[in-house]
Amino acid sequence: MSDEEPQDDELRELIEEALKLNISQKKNFKTRATLLNSVAGFLEEHLDSFIILAYDMDGKPVTLKSSQTIQQDEALSSLLIKYFASEVGRM
């Protein structure tokens, strides 16, 4: 998405901080599920709904999705479609 707004930068920084915090505290989490729940809990305090597609430190794929309503779920799906369409356009 080429037209990033200051809000996008702020959200990106929040997410990066959450991930850095959890990476540095990885030893404290007994299971992968505990780590993922911690990241999701932090993000849910700051974001209305979200989808995270990532890889953990072991190279395993991680997918986190949080939406409370059908409308939020559909909005996330629409955002993913827009994102992938913009990325395909760059190739």
The pair of structure tokens assigned to 6 is 């200051």
Q: Is 57 exposed, middle or buried (0-12, 13-18, 19+ CB in 10 A)?
A: exposed
**Would you state the pLDDT for residue 73?**
94
pTM (2 decimals)? Answer: 0.60
- Where do runs of H (alpha helix) occur along 1-91? 6-24, 32-46, 70-90
Q: How many CB atoms lie within 10 A of CB 39?
A: 20
In a 3-state reduction of DSSP, which class is residue 34?
Answer: helix
pLDDT tens digits, the chain, 91 residues: what are they? 445 577 788 888 888 877 776 565 555 667 778 878 888 888 888 889 999 898 877 888 988 899 999 999 999 999 999 999 998 887 7
